[in-house]
Chains A and B, each alone.
Chain A
Amino acid sequence: MVNLTIDDKQVTAPKTATIYEAAKLNGVNIPILCHDKKLKPFGACRMCLVEVEQMKGRQIPACTTPVTEGMIIRTSTPDIVKARKMVLELLLLNHPLDCPVCDKAGDCDLQNLTYEYKVDSNRFTDEKFHHQIDYNNPLIERDMNRCVLCGKCARICDEIVGFGALTFINRGIETKIGCEFEEGLNCEFCGSCISVCPVGSLLARPFKFKARFWSLTKQKSVCGYCGTGCNLTLGVKDNKVLTTLYDENQGFHNGQLCVRGRFGYQFINSDKRLTSPLIRTNGRLTECTWEEALTAVASRLGGGNSVAALATPRLTNEELFLFKKLMLDNVGSSNFDHSAGYAHAALTEGFTRSFGASASPASILDVQKTDLLLVVKTDSYETHPVIGFEINMGVKNKGIKLNIISDKRGKLSKLPGANTLVHSPGSEVAVLNAIAKSILDQKLSDGSAASIPGYAELEKSLAAFTPEAVAATSGISADSIQKIAKDYASVEKALIIFPVGQSYPGHNQEMASAVANLAILTGKIGKEGCGVLCMSEKSNSQGAVDMGFYAQNGGMNGLQILDACKNGTVKTLFIAGENPVVSYPNGANVKAALDAVDFLVVTELFMTDTAAMADVVLPACSFAEKEGTFTSTDRRVQYVKPAIRKNVKCKTDFEIIAALIAKLGGQAPSAPASVFAEIAASTSGYAGMSYVSLQSEGAFAPVNVTPKLVASKAAQTVSAESGKLVMVTGSALYHSGTLSQFGEGPMHVCPEVYVEMSRNDAARFKISEKDIVTVSTATGSIKLKAKVTPRMPEGVVFIPYHFSEAPVNAIWNGSAVTVVSIAK
């Protein structure tokens, strides 16, 4: 810490702080246009000029000058105010005064400063710019006439997003922000550039002219898409969510969002939302009252184990807890699950046996604190983009070594120094085992590793996984495996991350144990910057596991439930928010099961393919309309409060389940708060939490680890016979589950399913970009658009799973790797 004086006030600030940061820390506001907390100092706008007594007569930029001991700083002398006025005059010389029609008005830094400094006339005259405005982009409107060249958009796109879509082009007075070859934006559309723009140069097109900034109510919430647990500020007007707003002080991510979080909110107020309970009469779903619908449902819930339930892990902890209670106590069935069973197996089976806890012993914050990152699958970026941003920042700013084991290359492989090992699809567990074997062979394991239970068995089971043997099947050279083992074991802190989800059946308990073994063998666990982070797929996947909403004590898991529906053992199926027809493997089988089951109840926001098959459909509420808690992938429990009032004809899943409990003669809880009190009392790690304590910011539920080494079995590698390709499924960057299909933003950018293939394969099959190709397997065939990219290795194709139109489960039976044939 250094001591300094700011405006006659004695203050202290960290040694690394700039004058601007030191002032802000001590409550002195220095005006600035080109600074953002997350970005490196740039010094473009010259608004933050201050005087330092030691540097007599000079005005120096506060944002780029580091503090030194004994500095005496003045932030607003008459000279400084004069200089700032001049800067504003010069900016306003070219900036059009179209505030009445500019959506930024009210939130515009330039406008606010112009008012603050009373710049109401201009001594200079010049012509305004006449740059062409980009109206064509569906998400980001670029009007470079309003630009003040602060460079924040270009910097955030480069430093944090790592895409580099925008940059300064031309020189001098001609300088402007533009894209490559002056073409339109063709990027990830995360909208980070919009969030930091101090003027109205970059605007969210979906929000264009919808409302003025000052008429929006700012409602804090937690994103309902993936498991990262990003905090959102929703802009609400007239009970409608109109936009997401930027708050640089929100969450671990400092307000940074991905395309789904920023532009995927439209499903909340969609016209397609269900607004009335529906009941099937004479083969058609017709509207009915809640009483009729709930009575009909309650009358079919009495069958004990012939009743089963599937819930989406987008429900709150309270809803899942209550749902489980309904199933166990009132219905008397232990057949309930979420995400088909395998999507959470890494936590419930893998980590449970390896760590003695069904949660990750690491947090997202560890990404920045580690020395080496081992990422399994480049898809980690696509499934959890905001964690991807953290990786970008860590690698670029802190020099974290990035090692990637993946079946394809991806955006993470483009980071500086990234070491990507591309293996044949499905061999990731073998590769991880080979790394473990190599650690043992090179005697790199931690001294205490030998005393950990299971060491001897592991050593024995790893005998088959010599780097040389695995190199032959996986396509990664033995040297690379040995090097990665050495790198991983020799650094002080290392973190492993891998995504799980419905489209990653290979990321199961075996993989979880395999990565856990690496961390345990090298003692990289239980320390800051170390551990294993299993990135759960949906907003409350970790919570669903914590609440125990999965098959336990002889209950059937998701896929078994569907089989039981088909053979008649399960007569009533209650689906809360899941869309198995699209997202579970083997769609035809799922459809047959839902057809066969006697009574199907679905609570949903939309008439999904699954809801369309139901006997009773109950309209539920989205995350923006209910109260509860979400547990993010690193077990951060966050409070969600209603941002808007729900439609009076809809009920939250909490209310639906509570009403059913009452109908079945149970004691229904009155409010989510009372259920959360029960959760806090009964769930490990949640003790002491309450809505009051969670309201300002979330709290981590600690994970107690008892390490055990477990031999993990590697899957058989699949090789395609000639003329065929192997298919891997996964997540597309713009989507999350099947819900994002109802968000207009994601659908603007990625409206339909595609098959991604390498250039060589495309040439071999004479397929070019956007050709319609037929992909077929033993299960079925679908027609898809082709996408030819350099990231796919030869012989491998990738198909994302989110879409109801041509769902990948028509050709996919749930295996990690599928052999497909492709024809034009």
Chain B
Amino acid sequence: MNPITPIINGLSITLKHLFMKPVTLQYPDERPKVAARFRGLHALNVSHNKAKCVACYLCPTVCPAKCITVEAGEDDNHDKYAAKYEIDMLRCIFCGYCVEACPVDAIRMTGEFELANYHRKDFIYNKERLLEKK
């Protein structure tokens, strides 16, 4: 084989890619478009100005990483609510079982994926932080 041919072939591929749309993103200047079914940071759904969660403990029960801590409380109407709802993102494996298990559609997973932080304690998302994502 002509020793030049492979070089030309290679260069043609390079040349072709030079004019193709790049597959990489100039993150963080450019933002990726996450899929609707992406499993990112959790959010607690809100209805009538309060969390829908009724503290049934199904999510901590189903969670394979045991990263969810719920403590139930009794409100003024004697209804059950989550007095404490914490997810330890360092343990979470983003499997989405919590969403699947929830009987009242109180938890969902958002497209939020930028979860890096400086302190371990900042990875523990309490109820207020989870509620922020409307």
Q: Which residues of A are at the interface with B, using a C-beta cutoff of 8 A?
A: 99-101, 105, 133, 135, 208-212, 214-215
Besides A101-B79, A209-B73, 15 other A-B contacts (C-beta < 8 A) = A99-B56, A100-B54, A100-B58, A100-B103, A101-B55, A105-B56, A208-B74, A209-B55, A209-B72, A209-B80, A211-B57, A212-B56, A212-B57, A215-B57, A215-B61
Q: Which residues of A contact B90 (CB under 8 A)?
A: none
A101 touches B54 (CB 8 A): yes
Q: In the complex, what distance in Å separates the CA atom of A191 from the CA atom of B79?
A: 22
Q: In the complex, what distance in Å separates the CA atom of A101 from the CA atom of B73?
A: 11
Q: In the complex, what distance in Å separates the CA atom of A214 from the CA atom of B57?
A: 10
Nearest CB in chain A: distance from B106 CB, A: 10
Chain B window 99-134, contacts with chain A (Cβ cutoff 8 Å), 1 for yes, 0 for no: 000011000000000000000000000000000000
Nearest CB in chain A: distance from B16 CB, A: 57
- Docked complex: B1-60 residues within 8 A CB-CB of A: 54-58
Known interface pairs A100-B103, A209-B55, A209-B72; A135-B61 also in contact (CB < 8 Å): no
Q: 12 A–B contact pairs at CB < 8 A?
A: A100-B58, A100-B103, A100-B104, A101-B54, A101-B56, A101-B80, A105-B56, A209-B73, A209-B74, A209-B80, A210-B72, A215-B57
A100 touches B56 (CB 8 A): yes
A214 touches B61 (CB 8 A): yes
Q: Which residues of B contact A212 (CB under 8 A)?
A: 56-57, 61
Q: Which residues of A contact B58 (CB under 8 A)?
A: 100
A135 touches B78 (CB 8 A): yes
Measured CB to CB, the nearest residue on chain B to A208 is B74
Q: Which residues of A contact B78 (CB under 8 A)?
A: 133, 135
Q: Which residues of B contact A210 (CB under 8 A)?
A: 72
Nearest CB in chain A: distance from B101 CB, A: 10
Q: In the complex, what distance in Å separates the CA atom of A211 from the CA atom of B78?
A: 16
Q: In the complex, what distance in Å separates the CA atom of A100 from the CA atom of B103?
A: 7
Nearest CB in chain B: distance from A133 CB, A: 7
Measured CB to CB, the nearest residue on chain A to B103 is A100
Measured CB to CB, the nearest residue on chain B to A212 is B57
Q: In the complex, what distance in Å separates the CA atom of A583 from the CA atom of B89?
A: 54
Q: In the complex, what distance in Å separates the CA atom of A212 from the CA atom of B60?
A: 11
Q: Which residues of A contact B80 (CB under 8 A)?
A: 101, 209
Q: In the complex, what distance in Å separates the CA atom of A442 from the CA atom of B103?
A: 76
Q: In the complex, what distance in Å separates the CA atom of A348 from the CA atom of B58?
A: 56
Measured CB to CB, the nearest residue on chain A to B74 is A209
Q: In the complex, what distance in Å separates the CA atom of A208 from the CA atom of B104?
A: 20
Measured CB to CB, the nearest residue on chain B to A135 is B78
Which of A209, A211, A212 has most B Cβ within 10 Å?
A209
Q: In the complex, what distance in Å separates the CA atom of A215 from the CA atom of B78?
A: 22
Q: Which residues of B contact A99 (CB under 8 A)?
A: 56, 103
Measured CB to CB, the nearest residue on chain A to B79 is A101
Q: In the complex, what distance in Å separates the CA atom of A210 from the CA atom of B61?
A: 15
Q: Which residues of A contact B73 (CB under 8 A)?
A: 209
Q: In the complex, what distance in Å separates the CA atom of A58 from the CA atom of B112?
A: 62
Nearest CB in chain B: distance from A204 CB, A: 14
Measured CB to CB, the nearest residue on chain B to A214 is B61
Q: In the complex, what distance in Å separates the CA atom of A823 from the CA atom of B91?
A: 68
Q: In the complex, what distance in Å separates the CA atom of A100 from the CA atom of B79?
A: 11
Nearest CB in chain A: distance from B66 CB, A: 11
Which of A100, A211, A214 has most B Cβ within 10 Å?
A100
Q: Which residues of A contact B55 (CB under 8 A)?
A: 101, 209
- Docked complex: B64-82 residues within 8 A CB-CB of A: 72-74, 78-80
Measured CB to CB, the nearest residue on chain A to B104 is A100
Q: In the complex, what distance in Å separates the CA atom of A105 from the CA atom of B72?
A: 15
Nearest CB in chain B: distance from A66 CB, A: 43
Nearest CB in chain B: distance from A130 CB, A: 15
Q: Which residues of A contact B56 (CB under 8 A)?
A: 99-101, 105, 212
Q: Which residues of A contact B74 (CB under 8 A)?
A: 208-209
Measured CB to CB, the nearest residue on chain B to A100 is B56
Q: Which residues of B contact A100 (CB under 8 A)?
A: 54, 56, 58, 103-104
Q: In the complex, what distance in Å separates the CA atom of A209 from the CA atom of B56?
A: 9
Which of B61, B73, B80, B104 has most A Cβ within 10 Å?
B80
Measured CB to CB, the nearest residue on chain A to B70 is A212
Measured CB to CB, the nearest residue on chain A to B56 is A100
Q: In the complex, what distance in Å separates the CA atom of A99 from the CA atom of B56?
A: 8
Q: In the complex, what distance in Å separates the CA atom of A259 from the CA atom of B10?
A: 87
Q: Which residues of B contact A214 (CB under 8 A)?
A: 61
Q: Which residues of B contact A101 (CB under 8 A)?
A: 54-56, 79-80
Measured CB to CB, the nearest residue on chain A to B55 is A209
Q: Which residues of A contact B104 (CB under 8 A)?
A: 100
Q: In the complex, what distance in Å separates the CA atom of A210 from the CA atom of B57?
A: 11
Q: In the complex, what distance in Å separates the CA atom of A133 from the CA atom of B77?
A: 11
Nearest CB in chain A: distance from B104 CB, A: 6
Nearest CB in chain B: distance from A203 CB, A: 11
Measured CB to CB, the nearest residue on chain A to B78 is A135
Q: In the complex, what distance in Å separates the CA atom of A211 from the CA atom of B71?
A: 8
Q: In the complex, what distance in Å separates the CA atom of A101 from the CA atom of B72?
A: 10
Nearest CB in chain A: distance from B68 CB, A: 12
Measured CB to CB, the nearest residue on chain B to A98 is B54
Q: In the complex, what distance in Å separates the CA atom of A215 from the CA atom of B60?
A: 10
Q: Which residues of A contact B61 (CB under 8 A)?
A: 212, 214-215
Q: In the complex, what distance in Å separates the CA atom of A209 from the CA atom of B74?
A: 7
Measured CB to CB, the nearest residue on chain B to A210 is B72
Nearest CB in chain A: distance from B60 CB, A: 8
Nearest CB in chain B: distance from A24 CB, A: 30
Q: Which residues of B contact A135 (CB under 8 A)?
A: 78
Q: In the complex, what distance in Å separates the CA atom of A105 from the CA atom of B61?
A: 13
Q: In the complex, what distance in Å separates the CA atom of A210 from the CA atom of B84?
A: 12
Q: Which residues of B contact A105 (CB under 8 A)?
A: 56
Measured CB to CB, the nearest residue on chain A to B102 is A100
Q: In the complex, what distance in Å separates the CA atom of A292 from the CA atom of B25?
A: 68
Q: Which residues of B contact A215 (CB under 8 A)?
A: 57, 61
Q: In the complex, what distance in Å separates the CA atom of A212 from the CA atom of B58?
A: 9
Q: In the complex, what distance in Å separates the CA atom of A105 from the CA atom of B80?
A: 14
Q: In the complex, what distance in Å separates the CA atom of A736 from the CA atom of B83?
A: 35
Q: In the complex, what distance in Å separates the CA atom of A228 from the CA atom of B104?
A: 46
Nearest CB in chain A: distance from B97 CB, A: 16
Ranked nearest first, the 3 interchain pairs of A and B with the lowest CB-CB distance are: A100-B56, A209-B72, A101-B80
Q: In the complex, what distance in Å separates the CA atom of A99 from the CA atom of B58?
A: 11
Q: In the complex, what distance in Å separates the CA atom of A99 from the CA atom of B74?
A: 16
Nearest CB in chain A: distance from B56 CB, A: 3
Q: In the complex, what distance in Å separates the CA atom of A208 from the CA atom of B55?
A: 12
Measured CB to CB, the nearest residue on chain B to A211 is B57
Measured CB to CB, the nearest residue on chain B to A133 is B78
Q: In the complex, what distance in Å separates the CA atom of A211 from the CA atom of B56?
A: 9
Nearest CB in chain B: distance from A672 CB, A: 34
Nearest CB in chain A: distance from B80 CB, A: 4
Q: In the complex, what distance in Å separates the CA atom of A639 from the CA atom of B73?
A: 36
Measured CB to CB, the nearest residue on chain A to B83 is A209
Q: In the complex, what distance in Å separates the CA atom of A315 from the CA atom of B55?
A: 40
Q: In the complex, what distance in Å separates the CA atom of A209 from the CA atom of B79?
A: 10
